[in-house]
A and B are shown apart, each in its own frame.
Chain A
């Protein structure tokens, strides 16, 4: 596939790995804040290939993992409602709520359907006027334009039986929260290439300046990730802390303006809980007042639901990069992808699930950790 396959070129990737290893005069600690990048890093076994030169900490870039427990519980309530066809991206279906997950609600008779696009959910609403169609609008800024458009179109076309359950989060506040923690070890960031495709990178400039960390906007294929790491390591070796763009084929400094415009017409910044981290002010998106009609929480009377997460759950430590998954006592035994205790074990690129596949093999070999 053009503009995809060449960024998997093994020769170029291996060359970049050699470069990074030779360039780094000491092991640098980098963080990627994007589930898709985590996925590539784990899938390609990059951690072991960069060992000694770069330590990658998987940041809270998995919107599935950071969706607060109370939003999952609201989703489960809606899915169990006989009036509702509950639609969602596939990623959310196995995330455990307080008592069960969406797949189990389906087993008990709830109508839960996977869709590829929020417009597919809207289409379902048009085709089933006798049912309420709710779409689980989860994601970072990348997905906000799609979800915004679904709501905008629903209003334009007068689709009254469509609503969304919102659980959007934004990246920069999370980065800032991580960087201001006293125990922060992260020295440089790979910024999420598709979040920045939409938003541009201007929000990261003050972060790089204030915390003196290089931030490289990076794509998702192995060559992209390795080039992004290369650029970050060069900055670190040279004592620079700028925002650079590796993903030039998709990202411009101003992002995709019409997308940002519609997102700000439909959504507004709100305070948001991040599962395992706690509340980060102004780190989420919620529907604006004039679109309250399309907010499933109002339509179905769920706004009062509050679920407290235990402050002792280790998932938070993992998401902030303080604990490696295999250091959690439950890892691999009480907590595995089959019966996950927390979200990072559920999502295919949640740090714990990633380590469960990748890490188990490494532990099985007589190598250093």
Chain B
């Protein structure tokens, strides 16, 4: 292919850069806009070394003990979906964030913003689901708060949960610990939560058996801790923004590149079909019951065996590896041998027709 030299021309492209002066939905998507929001609007005022690590949870020392604290707010709509509701999601999500730092979750708190007019029976189902999820994980909900806002101000119900856990010195996965030569493992099929939600969206809705995979990953993390301990370099639950966002964040924090094998990605048939229909890429679809683990390649078989010994991890597989090449870039090798970059999306992934 002949290289065509183009003399540098003064830029005359007239379409203006779009500067945004307010919050958009994309800022909540887990992609580049979310990262920018954090970097430009929050960190400059609130920054400190603990926060700057930007892990799933913060690690602090209290009276000589290392504690992990994580907080998350849940705004999912619809409030109830196949496989769970905002309550179970809120408990699982925060338990998982604490667990991803290697901590054993001990306590949870919950804050509720209730919209005027929310039916009590719906609220009951949400709270009962929270209780069931917390109890199954053995983590009590020890304090909380409730507020009510006027009709129209809260989409039914918003929940914030905060989790506190105890860290073990011998088990410290962190987003900056991925190393060249690590295997990238995923604990189960991807894309279920996001597509289960999409199936219920007005204007998009379709019928499927897809259920959210929302689950507490604590038992899986525990198995990894017992079998590999310190050699678990990094754990992440790929929630909003999907696998692609999680892997990009880790690549940036650890300053490494990653290579994924498309053929190895565990996409269930119905999730794949729903993605085809809407033109979505499963790599960007949210998961709530899956974790990504980074362990030295030589220990991958042991890690996989560990994960597979629990129902939540029975279809765990290796999907790629960490490389020293192209730091900060996550690259996918397609089944036919081509390559493409898997980048962070600016905002939400949108259904397309093209």
Interface set of A (CB-CB < 8 Å, partner B)? 1, 4, 8, 10, 13-14, 17, 27, 35-36, 39, 42-46, 48-49, 51-52, 55, 62-64, 69, 87, 89-91, 93-94, 96, 98-101, 103-104, 106-108, 113-116, 120-121, 124, 139, 143, 222, 309-310, 312-315, 323-324, 327-330, 334-335, 337-342, 347-349, 356-358, 360-361, 364-365, 368-369
Q: Which of B8, B10, B272, B347 interacts with A1 by CB under 8 Å? A: B272
A335 to B341, CA, bound (A): 18
B353 at the interface (CB under 8 A from A): yes
CB distance from B312 to the nearest CB of A (A): 27
Q: Contacts A104-B24, A120-B203 given: A49-B351 contact, CB under 8 Å?
A: no
B326 at the interface (CB under 8 A from A): yes
CB of A91 within 8 A of CB of B11, answer no
CB of A312 within 8 A of CB of B1, answer no
Interface positions of B from 303 to 354, Cβ below 8 Å from A = 326, 329, 331, 334-341, 343, 345-347, 350-354
| A146 (CB) vs chain B CBs: closest residue | B353
CB of B203 within 8 A of CB of A115, answer yes
CB of A357 within 8 A of CB of B13, answer no
| B19 (CB) vs chain A CBs: closest residue | A339
CB of B16 within 8 A of CB of A13, answer no
Q: Which residues of B contact A43 (CB under 8 A)?
A: 334, 340
Q: Which residues of B contact A309 (CB under 8 A)?
A: 14
CB of B334 within 8 A of CB of A45, answer yes
A356 to B3, CA, bound (A): 18
B-side interface residues, number (CB < 8 Å):
56
CB of A49 within 8 A of CB of B338, answer yes
Q: Which residues of B contact A358 (CB under 8 A)?
A: 340-341
Q: Contacts A313-B14, A323-B6 given: A93-B350 contact, CB under 8 Å?
A: yes
6 pairs, CB–CB < 8 Å, chain A vs chain B: A1-B269, A44-B336, A91-B353, A104-B22, A139-B353, A341-B15
Q: Which residues of B contact A27 (CB under 8 A)?
A: 1
A348 to B284, CA, bound (A): 14
Q: Which residues of B contact A116 (CB under 8 A)?
A: 203-204, 206, 277-278, 351
CB distance from A191 to the nearest CB of B (A): 16
Q: Which residues of A contact B338 (CB under 8 A)?
A: 44-46, 48-49
Interface SS of chain B: loop
CB of A313 within 8 A of CB of B354, answer no
CB of A337 within 8 A of CB of B354, answer no
Q: Which residues of A contact B346 (CB under 8 A)?
A: 94, 337-338
A13 to B262, CA, bound (A): 15
Q: Contacts A43-B340, A369-B1 given: A103-B347 contact, CB under 8 Å?
A: yes
| B4 (CB) vs chain A CBs: closest residue | A327
Q: Which residues of B contact A39 (CB under 8 A)?
A: 354
A115 to B350, CA, bound (A): 10
CB of B352 within 8 A of CB of A361, answer no
A90 to B201, CA, bound (A): 13
A43 to B17, CA, bound (A): 27
Q: Which residues of A contact B329 (CB under 8 A)?
A: 360-361, 364
12 further interface pairs, Cβ-Cβ under 8 Å (given A106-B25, A357-B340): A1-B269, A44-B334, A49-B336, A87-B203, A96-B18, A103-B24, A113-B202, A222-B334, A329-B10, A334-B13, A347-B354, A360-B329
